[in-house]
Amino acid sequence: MSLHPRQERIRPAKPAWHAGLARFTQPDPRKAAWQLVNTLVPYALLWAAMAATVLYRLPYWVTLLLAVPEAVLTVRIFIFFHDAGHGSFFPSSRANTVVGYVCGILTFTPYHDWHRAHALHHATAGNLDRRGVGDVWTMTVDEYLSAPRRQRLAYRLLRNPLVMFGLGPVFVFLIGQRIPRKGGKRRERLSVVYTNLALAGILVVAGLTIGLGTYVAVQLPVFLISGMLGLWLFYVQHQFAGVYWARDDDWDASRAALAGSSFYKLPAFLRWCTGNIGLHHIHHLRPRIANYHLQPCMDAITELQQVTPLTFRRSLTSLRLNLWDEQQHKLVSFRSIAGARSAAQA
């Protein structure tokens, strides 16, 4: 099968309603500033309260109780970091860079390095021929069946929820983000260095003031809970029943957004906590729409509301969908291919 150059392909014309997305791409500095205030201030106060519970030797369950809302605020801070990288949070690129670096340090993530990979993710989401950057490792059935035993084992381990959401935050945010990605330019590499130095500086200051033990007792549960929540949100954005994937010659960006990115239907409070990232189909259609404009955009354009929502209950079933079946054009479970695997090994 021959592949045609992407620039020569005839793509379907965008629907009339698509033009209406443009009016939501203008950043609002007042809304952005208010989001920073209503998130960073309680974040700092809760962090101080958690430190006090440790220093005054209160039962550790009190610290852990406070860690839950602190972790939720950390997820929300990551959304600001994410928007800043898309240039959608503030109108000023300098303001976005400052916000991106500060929020990146608070979430253990280098600003420019992460956003380079994230930009590639936006350009390749749902494309079977361009997997591997900024996404969840996804194998096709044929790839899995023909893979060496060691690779199949590694894949199954990664896809195990205990590994992905338990150990995942440690490997992704604590270890992986400390190392520059391959192919990064000087700016991306320096963002890793600057973030690492800032984190090292925080450790030094903590050691000279509240003590490293107190810092770890406060930050570790926040880090683990927020990392688990963040990885779950990222996972269900492109791993769910009915998701769209296609080979490069058939891949379409609009379909990858509307059918390959989830509309995670959450109540208003959780939409606030997660910065409306559940409206991921809109985000992939127009990444320049800031989190605070996503819900108004959804409310204004009827066609966006017609995307089949991913409910919380339905999202849990995605944990069983581990491989892409190119014959059936859908995600399937390991169990569903047991017979085919036996035949392949015979």
Domain boundaries, the chain: 23-345
What's the pLDDT band for 4 if we cut at 50, 70, 90? very low
Q: Pairing mode, if any, of strands 323-325 and 139-140?
A: parallel
Beta-bridge partners for 331: 324
83 contact partners, CB below 8 Å, separation of at least 6: 89, 275, 290, 291
Range with the lowest mean pLDDT among 6-20, 253-267, 307-321, 324-338? 6-20
Own/partner contacts of 101-105, CB < 8 Å, gap of 24 or more, are: 101/191, 101/194, 101/195, 103/77, 103/78, 104/191, 104/195, 105/195, 105/198, 105/199, 105/202
Closest CA to 281 of 303, 263, 302: 263
What pLDDT digit, counting tens, does each position of 166-209 carry? 999 999 999 999 999 988 899 999 999 999 999 999 999 999 99
Query: In this structure, how many other beta carbons lie within 10 angstroms of the beta carbon of residue 157?
Result: 12
pLDDT at 339 (0 to 100): 63
Residue 346 pLDDT greater than 50, yes or no? no
Q: Are 241 and 257 in contact (CB under 8 A)?
A: no
Q: Which residue has the higher pLDDT, 339 or 286?
A: 286
Q: Pairing mode, if any, of strands 139-140 and 330-332?
A: unpaired
Sign of the CA dihedral running 239, 27, 294, 107: positive
Q: Are 337 and 141 in contact (CB under 8 A)?
A: yes
pTM for the full model? 0.92
What pLDDT digit, counting tens, does each position of 54-111 carry? 999 999 999 999 999 999 999 999 999 999 999 999 999 999 999 999 999 999 999 9
Residue 183 has phi, psi (to 5 degrees) of: 85, 0
